[in-house]
C-alpha cells in the first residue's frame, strides 16, 4: 500500500557543506545551523571556532571551559590571537601593560596542534613565564602566518631567536615590534650561528614591515636563510636611511619570485642611496604589481636634485619584468604646483615602453587644499599623454 506521507527530500552533503561554508563569517547563521541538525554540526562548528581571539583572563577561562565540555573543538581552531590591552599609563606617561593573563593559557597550547595562524598583540614576550614561552614554542612549529603588533622583547637578539622558532613560516606581519636594548648580532657569533640559521622548511612568501619596527633586523634574518628568500610579496615602510642597502639586498635575493612590491620611504631616500643604486629592480623579472606609497613632497625637498622623488624614476627605469600589470603612486602635495617638480618626461617614457602595453597606472593624490581635483587630474593626464596611448590611467583625489 502506498504511504500517504511524501518521502523526505535529502540534500547532498556536499551542498550542505557548501552552504555552510558560504556563511563562514555570519556567526548567528552558523549558530542556527549547528542547532538545526546533527549533520550540520561539524561544518558549523569548524567555522564558529576556526578563529579564536583571547583578550583577557575571562576569555581564557571561557575557552578552557569550552574545551573541557567539547574537546573536539581543538581540531577546529586554525587561527589563534592573543590581544592584550593597556591598563592606563605609568607615572612616566607610557602605557601600562596588562598581559599577565597570557600565562594562564600555557596548559591549553599543547592541545591546539592544528593552529596555522598566530597573532600576538601588546604582549611583553620577555615578561612571560618560562613555562608559557616553552608551550608557545611547541605551537610555533605548525604556524604558517604570524602577526606581531606592539610585541616587545628584552633584546634584539631575542627577536631573532623568536622568529627562528617558526620552521614552517610563510607570511610575516611585523608591526611596531620593539626591544629594550640592542645586543650583538647572533649572526656574528660562530658559536650560536647554527641556532638561528636553521629555519627548517621555512619558505617566506609574504613580508610586511612597518616603520615603527627595525626593518633592518628582520631583513638581516631573512638574508641569512637562502631558502626563505623566494618572497612573492613585499610591503615595507623604511625609515632607516643609513641602511637602504638592506632593501636592495632583499630585492636582489627575492629575484624573479617577487610579484608584488609596495615600498614607502617616509623620510625620503638619501642622495647617496640613489647614486649607488641601492634600490634596483633589475633582478625582479617576475614583478606584476608595483606601488610607491607615502610620496610626501615635504620629505623629498632635502634632495640636491631639483626633481621630486628621484628614487622612483630610478626604480621605474630599472624594471625588467615583462609581466608588470599595475603601477600605482600615493602622493601627498600642498598644491598643483608641486606636481611640476616630478620628472614627468622620464616617467612617461618608462611607462610607455612596448612591453608595458595595456598596463594600468593609478595615482592616489592627497592635497592640503580642497577643490583642486579637476586641476590635478588634468595636470597628470597631460604629463602622461604618451602612456595613455598604450595603457589605462586613473587619478583619484582623496
For helices 41-48 and 27-36, give the axis angle rounded to 10 degrees: 150
Q: Does residue 375 fall inside a structural domain?
A: yes
| Apex 375 CA angle, 369 and 376, nearest 5 | 75
SS3 380: helix
Q: How many CB atoms lie within 10 A of CB 3?
A: 6
CA 315/CA 355 separation, integer angstroms: 16
Element (H, E) at 388: helix 385-388
Q: What is the pLDDT at residue 304?
A: 46
For the record, the C-alpha cell of 160 comes out as 631573532
Q: Determine contact, residues 286/258, Cβ cutoff 8 Å.
A: yes
HEC letters along 349-375: HHHCCHHHCCCEEEEEEEECCCCCHHH
Q: Determine contact, residues 186/192, Cβ cutoff 8 Å.
A: yes
What's the structural domain count of the chain? 2
SS3 145: strand
Q: Does residue 315 fall inside a structural domain?
A: yes
Q: Determine contact, residues 108/64, Cβ cutoff 8 Å.
A: yes
Strand-pair category, 95-98 with 85-89: antiparallel
CA 318/CA 301 separation, integer angstroms: 23
For the record, the C-alpha cell of 172 comes out as 610575516
DSSP-derived secondary structure letter, 101: G
Question: Residue 382: which CATH number?
Answer: 3.80.10
- Please state the separation of Cα 34 from the chain's center in Å: 34
Q: Which residues are registered as beta bridge partners of 293?
A: 264
Element (H, E) at 29: helix 27-36
Provide the domain limits for residue 42. Answer: 12-48
Element (H, E) at 271: helix 271-275
Torsion of CA 370, 372, 377, 383, to 10 degrees: -130
Based on the number of CB atoms within 10 Å of its own CB, is 110 exposed (0-12), middle (13-18) or buried (19 or more)?
A: exposed
DSSP-derived secondary structure letter, 25: T
Based on the number of CB atoms within 10 Å of its own CB, is 115 exposed (0-12), middle (13-18) or buried (19 or more)?
A: buried
Q: How many CB atoms lie within 10 A of CB 293?
A: 17
Q: Does residue 397 fall inside a structural domain?
A: yes
CA 191/CA 313 separation, integer angstroms: 44
Residue 77 has φ and ψ, to the nearest 5°, of -70, 115
Q: Does residue 278 fall inside a structural domain?
A: yes
Q: Does residue 354 fall inside a structural domain?
A: yes
List CB contacts of 182: < 8 A, sequence separation 6 or more. Answer: 155, 156
- Laid out side by side, the sheet with 392-397 consists of 51-54, 79-83, 117-121, 145-149, 171-175, 206-209, 233-237, 260-264, 289-296, 326-333, 360-367, 392-397
Q: Does residue 70 fall inside a structural domain?
A: no
Stretches in the chain below the pLDDT threshold 50: 303-304
Q: Does residue 204 fall inside a structural domain?
A: no
Q: Does residue 72 fall inside a structural domain?
A: no
Amino acid at each position: 500500500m502506498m504511504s500517504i506521507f511524501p518521502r523526505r527530500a535529502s540534500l547532498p552533503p556536499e551542498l550542505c557543506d557548501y552552504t555552510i561554508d558560504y556563511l563562514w563569517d555570519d556567526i548567528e547563521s552558523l549558530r542556527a545551523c549547528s542547532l538545526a541538525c546533527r549533520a550540520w554540526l561539524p561544518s558549523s562548528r569548524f567555522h564558529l571556532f576556526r578563529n579564536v581571539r583571547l583578550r583577557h583572563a575571562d576569555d581564557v577561562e571561557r575557552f578552557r571551559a569550552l574545551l573541557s565540555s567539547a574537546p573536539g573543538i581543538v581540531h577546529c581552531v586554525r587561527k589563534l590571537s592573543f590581544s592584550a590591552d593597556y591598563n592606563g599609563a605609568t607615572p612616566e606617561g607610557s602605557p601600562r601593560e596588562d598581559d599577565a593573563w597570557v600565562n594562564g593559557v600555557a596548559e591549553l597550547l599543547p592541545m591546539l596542534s592544528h593552529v596555522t595562524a598566530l597573532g600576538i598583540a601588546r604582549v611583553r614576550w620577555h615578561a612571560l613565564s618560562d613555562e608559557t614561552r616553552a608551550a608557545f614554542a611547541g605551537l610555533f612549529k605548525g604556524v604558517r602566518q604570524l602577526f606581531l603588533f606592539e610585541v616587545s622583547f628584552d633584546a634584539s637578539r631575542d627577536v631573532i631567536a623568536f622568529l627562528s622558532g617558526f620552521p614552517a613560516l610563510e607570511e610575516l606581519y611585523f608591526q611596531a615590534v620593539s626591544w629594550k636594548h640592542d645586543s650583538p648580532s647572533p649572526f656574528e657569533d660562530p658559536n650560536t650561528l647554527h641556532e638561528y640559521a636553521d629555519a627548517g622548511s621555512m619558505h617566506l612568501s609574504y613580508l610586511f614591515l612597518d616603520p615603527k619596527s627595525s626593518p633592518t633586523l628582520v631583513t638581516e634574518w631573512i638574508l641569512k636563510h637562502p631558502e626563505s628568500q623566494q618572497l612573492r610579496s613585499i610591503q615595507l615602510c623604511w625609515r632607516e636611511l643609513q641602511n637602504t642597502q638592506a632593501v636592495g639586498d632583499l630585492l636582489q635575493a627575492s629575484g624573479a619570485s617577487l610579484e608584488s612590491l609596495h615600498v614607502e620611504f617616509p623620510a625620503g631616500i638619501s642622495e647617496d642611496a640613489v647614486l649607488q643604486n641601492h634600490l634596483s629592480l633589475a633582478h625582479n623579472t617576475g614583478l606584476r604589481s608595483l606601488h610607491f606609497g607615502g610620496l610626501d613632497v615635504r620629505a623629498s625637498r632635502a634632495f640636491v636634485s631639483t626633481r621630486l622623488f628621484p628614487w622612483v624614476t630610478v626604480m621605474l627605469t630599472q624594471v625588467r619584468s615583462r609581466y608588470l600589470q599595475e603601477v600605482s603612486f600615493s602622493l601627498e602635495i600642498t598644491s598643483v604646483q608641486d606636481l611640476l617638480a616630478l620628472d614627468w618626461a622620464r616617467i612617461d617614457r618608462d611607462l610607455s615602453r612596448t612591453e608595458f602595453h595595456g598596463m594600468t597606472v593609478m595615482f592616489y593624490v592627497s592635497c592640503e587644499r580642497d577643490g583642486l581635483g579637476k586641476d590635478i587630474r588634468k595636470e597628470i593626464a597631460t604629463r602622461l599623454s604618451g602612456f595613455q596611448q598604450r595603457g589605462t590611467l586613473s587619478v583619484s583625489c582623496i
